[in-house]
Amino acid sequence: MTTFNELNISQPIMKALENMGFEEATPIQAETIPLALEGNDVIGQAQTGTGKTAAFGIPMLEKIDASQKKIQGLVVAPTRELAIQVAEEINRLGKGKGIRTMSVFGGQHMERQIKALKDGPQIVVATPGRLLDHMRRKTINTGNIETTVLDEADEMLNMGFIDDIRDILKNIPADKQTLLFSATMPKEIREIATNLMNTPKEVKMKAKEMTVENIDQYFIEIPEKHKFDTLTNHLDIYAPTLAIVFARTKKRVDEITDGLQTRGFRAEGIHGDLTQGKRMSVLNKFKNNRVDVLVATDVAARGLDISGVTHVYNFDIPQDPESYVHRIGRTGRAGRAGEAISFITPREMAHLHLIEKVTKSKMKRMVPPTYQEARRGQQQAAADKLRSTIEKKELQEYHETASELLQDHDSVTVVAAALKMLTKERRNAPVNISSVQPISVKKAQHNKGRSGNKKFYGNRGQGGPKQGGRNQGGRNRKGNYQKRRNNRKPNN
């Protein structure tokens, strides 16, 4: 795995990624970002849910001059839902650089969009029909665009937008960067890449057969603020022999580790900031059963070979299915059964369903355990210790003292006192874990026909000062000027 720190990304965007809770790049991000930062045209073949938005959003943001209130980045998406979500994510990534993104699609009053466009967003995310309407009206000027992205190109083909896509690209300056992303590569999309892109580099994420065996998979739907208490309650009830807790950031690893230690668990954390010596020390403790719970980021857990892990907890659900399979594969090894429990916030349910689809597995819903159940679990663990000691039958020298106790107290009271001594009473100290953004899947409801002629869902009033200049038309890849087709009715 690759961290974003290794990808030569500017500090404001690194800060945004940290605030969003991301340290590790997905495979499509790790391969696409360096190529795009070098200025290459790129064809990326990858499924939804692999982190494509950041893969094209970060290089696009790095090229934009925030002081210029002109459209310098363009993303074309098949549906309004996808356009809105892509715009929201790029807005979060570009916040620290002062770059503003606006979504444009049918269904909103045209005059309202024109007014917002005059305020000068630097990036526009648009559906094809409404984008062409603005280009014909000259309310979107393509002359300053540095990067154009076609997102889910095969979906746009399926929805009948292929001619619109060609028209859009022919009106973008020929020497500018184009990034094309598509889950499949039909001949019409390949034709666009051949005729309207400049020697594109190809990044192909093979659809891996990701299956998991010998692992019982569960999820707990839980608000972010209740995750930690749910984790400690579950640990107390099920008393895993060895457990790994995966968190999305180094900060979260430190906070969860400190919280577990505060509540009396033998826990240690590992992440990329630790020295190799410290990491090896923690792992040795874990392997030798001096630590019960290991808290880790994906990067720190890379290459771990630890046997005997009975439970894996996804405190934070990973952003791509491959990471999910990699994580839970730490348990259920060598023919042994294992359990994987994922904590899912309500807004992440769509992402959970995506992981189930890709991994061809079904997670069972688990009810969040309560504190009372956790206390009962602790007592049960103490009772198990008593039973184990009784079964060993090495108690002869304790019989006399036991008889004396039973002369003064009834047998239930004596056993209850023994259980109390053996039970680990958790300090229910308050623990605060810093929050991260939930991971959500692009909810592209692929309507047949034109996108955008019903209800308005979207962003309002984004942008800055008025943009100047008129759209004089762009040169296509063969150097010819294109006349816009004014005989088509605007798609409002």
Domain boundaries along the sequence of the chain: 2-204, 223-344+346-396+406-437
Residue 151 confidence (pLDDT) above 90: yes
Instruction: Give the global pTM.
Output: 0.61
Q: Determine the average pLDDT of the residues in 127-148.
A: 94
15-19, 130-134, 224-228, 281-285: the lowest-pLDDT one: 281-285
* Residue 178 CB contacts under 8 Å (≥ 6 apart), including other chains: 41, 147, 148, 149, 150, 169, 172, 196, 197, 198, 200
Residue 461 confidence (pLDDT) above 90: no
184-199 pLDDT, tens digit each: 889 999 898 888 899 9
> Residue 243 and residue 310: Cα distance in Å, rounded?
6
58-72, 161-175, 410-424: the lowest-pLDDT one: 410-424
Q: How much is the pLDDT for 184?
A: 85
Q: How much is the pLDDT for 302?
A: 60
Residue 289 confidence (pLDDT) above 50: yes
Residue 67 confidence (pLDDT) above 90: yes
13-51 b/e (C-beta count within 10 Å ≥ 16 → b) = bbebbebbbbbbbbbbbbbbbbbbeeebbbbbbbbbbbb
365-415 pLDDT, tens digit each: 999 988 777 777 777 777 777 888 888 888 888 888 888 888 888 888 878
The token pair that represents 349 in the structure block: 């349910």
Average per-residue pLDDT for the chain? 82
CA proximity to 367, closest of 230, 256, 260: 230
> Residue 388 and residue 384: Cα distance in Å, rounded?
6
Looking at domain 223-344+346-396+406-437, what is its CATH homologous superfamily?
A: P-loop containing nucleotide triphosphate hydrolases (3.40.50.300)
Which amino acid is present at 307?
S
Band the pLDDT of 75: cuts 50, 70, 90: very high
Which amino acid is present at 447?
N
Q: How much is the pLDDT for 330?
A: 81
Q: Does this chain's domain 2-204 share its CATH topology with 223-344+346-396+406-437?
A: yes
Q: How many CB atoms lie within 10 A of CB 243?
A: 27
Q: Determine the average pLDDT of the residues in 60-80.
A: 94
> CA-based Rg of the chain, rounded to a whole angstrom?
28
- Do the strands 24-25 and 2-3 form a parallel or antiparallel pair, or are they unpaired? antiparallel
354 and 321 Cβ atoms separated by less than 8 Å? yes
Looking at domain 2-204, what is its CATH homologous superfamily?
A: P-loop containing nucleotide triphosphate hydrolases (3.40.50.300)
153-167, 214-228, 360-374, 439-453: the lowest-pLDDT one: 439-453
The token pair that represents 16 in the structure block: 């945004």
Q: How much is the pLDDT for 425?
A: 65
Residue 154 confidence (pLDDT) above 70: yes
